[in-house]
Structure 1
Amino acid sequence: MQVTTVNSAFSSLPLSAAMLANLDALGYAEMTPIQAQSLPVILKGLDLIAQAKTGSGKTAAFGIGLLSPLNPRFFGCQALVLCPTRELADQVAKELRRLARAADNVKILTLCGGVPFGPQIGSLEHGAHVIVGTPGRIQEHLKKGTLKLDGLNTLVLDEADRMLDMGFYDSIAEIINQTPAKRQTLLFSATYPAGIKQLSATFMRDPQQVKVEALHDDAQIEQRFYEIAPEQRMDAVLKLLASYRPESCVAFCFTKQQCQELVDHLGAHGISAAALNGDLEQRDRDQVLAMFANRSLSVLVATDVAARGLDIDALDMVINVELARDAEIHIHRVGRTGRAGAKGLAMSLVAPAEGHRAQAIETLQKSPLNWHPLSSLKAKSGEPLQPPMVTLCIGAGRKEKLRPGDILGALTGEAGLPGAKIGKIALFDYQAFVAVERDVAKQALKRLNDGKIKGRSLKVRLL
């Protein structure tokens, strides 16, 4: 019996020698399933709808695709990638820059809201080949005439379902109407709601469809389901945390109100938690995400819309405080843990009224759910659940030419703190966050407030 397999070597694709050498240097050994299925279609210039989640390698799929036909000598926008949030746009641009190292002088620019408009106009005047941005800000540049899309070859809609969740349908339609009719359109989405069908029917030419199996390897992620009475929900989350003591956990809620209730409930029991919802100002969102990524916040409580596009490595546990209304969203939530070879735990609380949702998940996973009684959770003794790190917020950022090395130097220089006690440093335009181990937090704060960073006294506070 002959088994046909998709060739997973990048060398099987019509790519330049320079691109293949760069992929090799970047450690791209072989194509992920989404790359193997979508790249042959993309490189033929066809329109594509790909159903794939974050972490599947989709950025490299459309990245290699849009860089291939690029003409570095023409300094106009030849490829546009629309993303739902600034974090995702930054991530995508970073990956594209790595992929573009093979070509001469390809300029990649991000255009997102939440940052000043003026400098973006200056950057656009110098010309850019690839633009990655959020729909609102791209629309503003088109209105002002600072961005022209008449030379566009490739349009990418990344996490299209999430852009629609956030109410961007009209903005996207307006942007597409200003692009040439003979462009290639690539649409990537984790789920396939009605809005996506409408988008593709209106704006795509005979799109090819690929879908990558999004189910998780049970060996990688252990799922457990607990039946609860609705009034037990908040305490059940406490029990799960006390029993498993994860260092980092995302708890999914349905509404902003439910998020806030849970944060208050956890806080009252000495557990550091913060809510991430769609209403947060960009500055506050940056702060919450930086604290969670640097391990100075134990529990991130989020709604589905707010959490999409989060790229968090080493997430120990996901808690579904309430089951998702859609089984595919459940799979998506659960897939945030157990990444990069580590084992993950996904715990779901199910009230009797949500029984049909549990049934839908069982049907989609084609295997019985793993039910446990709530009484089986036994609290482990020890300190209350506290994150290992604490975050210091510094009142200056990139715009003041601050670099991670400056912060590190101020903390470790001349008999300062040992480098091993300092964690992640995150820089934003007007503020910076540095994580330090809990036992040296006071010392670090004193050191930064008494000393100077880059020759200046800056305001530093403990978050």
Structure 2
Amino acid sequence: YGGGDGANFSTEKQALSKGADIVICTPGRMISHLNMGYVQLKGLRYLILDEADRMLDMGFYDDLMKIISFLPPKRQNLLFSATMPEKIRDLARKILHQPEEINIAISKPPAKIVQEAFVLYEAQKIPLIAHLLRDRAEQSVLIFCSKKQAVKTLCRELRRLKFNIEEIHSDLLQSAREQVMLDFRSRKLKILVATDIISRGIDIDNIDLVINFDVPNDGEDYIHRIGRTARAQTDGTAYTFISEKEQGKFAVIENLLGSPVKKGKIPDSFGPVPEYSPRRGAGGGRPKGRYKPHFRKKQ
């Protein structure tokens, strides 16, 4: 359950009142039902938190803890997370009881994706993205920014340059997001700018190009972002813009990938560009040790 209209809410209420075997929901939607007092949870046996790191990044910690407060104490909990920062470990300590931990090495992006990175100054990003978009007028392009304010600013600048473009971020109503995604999936809309809110879980087979307007926070986010292209046996391209302060962060990602990403040439008309000379761990990245898959059993 998540988003939708009043009719959907009524259908959900009926199902939750009578009982259901499996419920898949967003935190906010479930809280709306829980606050009404009719949700039957006495027989609940399993709680599964998928993409827990993403939910915490989006500010759902308090919502999750509120939902958990309604649940029977005796249950099995399963927590899935692409990363394990301290906030995820803190959540695990609060909701899990003597857990078994399974760590799986990160997957690599499909070989069909042509990866290329552009090293440039921050002020050169918008002129370069406009240049690239003009050369791909008929292609489906998905642009990622790490912050919603960056999404809004980039969209404003590209609209000023006469590009037909839409945006998706957490400030949009669910109904508005659904309409934008419908237009993008049907190729009525060719260019979409979004936060990482859609870097996972969307299923669109015809995205020709993914552009990282900024360097993702970690390798997992990078792989999820560029994995939106080259789906369903098609080829795809992924560009990443690297400013001076983001070089260290991208070097961490390259180390995770196991090989450097090809650096693209920026037109001479854009003026001089910085040299790619990253310092390991610089630029706000989150370097993390990686390990082979292993199982740690309860003692």
TM-score calculated relative to the size of structure 2: 0.81
After superposition, residues 397-408 of structure 1 pair within 5 angstroms as none
Alignment partner of 2:14 out of 119, 122, 128: 122
How far is 1:210 from its partner? Answer: 3.8
2:54 alignment partner, one of 162, 182, 199: 162
Q: Aligned in 2, Cα 1:256/1:170: closer, same or farther, shift over 3 Å?
A: closer
| C-alpha contact 2:213 2:241 (8 A) present in aligned 1 | yes
Identity %, equivalent residues:
38
Alignment match, 2:182? 290
CA distance in 2: counterparts of 1:328 and 1:124, whole angstroms: 35
Structure 1 counterpart of 2:109: 216
Structure 2, gaps ≥5 residues long:
270-299
Distance 1:210 1:335 in 2: 21
1:207 aligned to which of 89, 92, 100 = 100
Structure 2 counterpart of 1:39: none
Contact 1:161 1:192 in 2 (8 A): yes
1:365 aligns with one of 257, 268, 280: 257
**Cα distance, 1:356–1:171 mapped onto 2, change above 3 Å:** same
CA deviations over 1:145-182 (Å, ceiling 9, x no partner)? 21121211221112212211221112212222332333
Structure 2 partner of 1:247: 139
What is the 5 A alignment of 1:385-424? none
Report Cα offsets for 1:354-406 as digits up to 9, x if no partner: 211221111111112211211289xxxxxxxxxxxxxxxxxxxxxxxxxxxxx
Unaligned ranges ≥5, structure 1? 1-110, 378-463
What is the CA–CA distance in structure 1 between the aligned matches of 2:177 and 2:224, rounded to whole Å?
A: 21
Which residue pairs with 1:278 in the alignment? 170
Contact 1:191 1:329 in 2 (8 A): no
Letter in 2 for 1:161: D
Aligned to 1:145: 37
1:267 corresponds to which letter in structure 2?
A: R
Secondary structure at 1:156's aligned position in 2? strand
Larger Rg: 1
Structure 2 Cα separation of the partners of residues 188 and 284 of structure 1: 28
**How far off its partner does 1:307 sit?**
4.5
Match of 2:238 among 335, 346, 349: 346
Query: Which whole-Å CA distance do the structure 2 matches of 1:312 and 1:189 have between them?
Result: 23
Larger RCO (CA within 8 A; separation ≥ 6):
2
Match of 2:222 among 316, 325, 330: 330
Distance 2:219 2:268 in 1: 26
8 Å CA contact 2:146, 2:196 repeated in 1? yes
1:375 aligns with 2:251: no
Q: Report the TM-score when normalising by structure 1.
A: 0.53
Contact kept, 8 Å, 2:50 with 2:80, in 1: the verdict is: yes
Does 2:5 align with 1:112?
no
In 2, are the aligned partners of 1:316 and 1:345 still within 8 Å (CA)? yes
Is the contact between residue 327 and residue 357 of structure 1 (CA under 8 Å) also seen in structure 2? Answer: no
> How far is the alpha carbon of 1:331 from its aligned partner?
2.1
**C-alpha displacement at 1:280, in angstroms?**
0.6
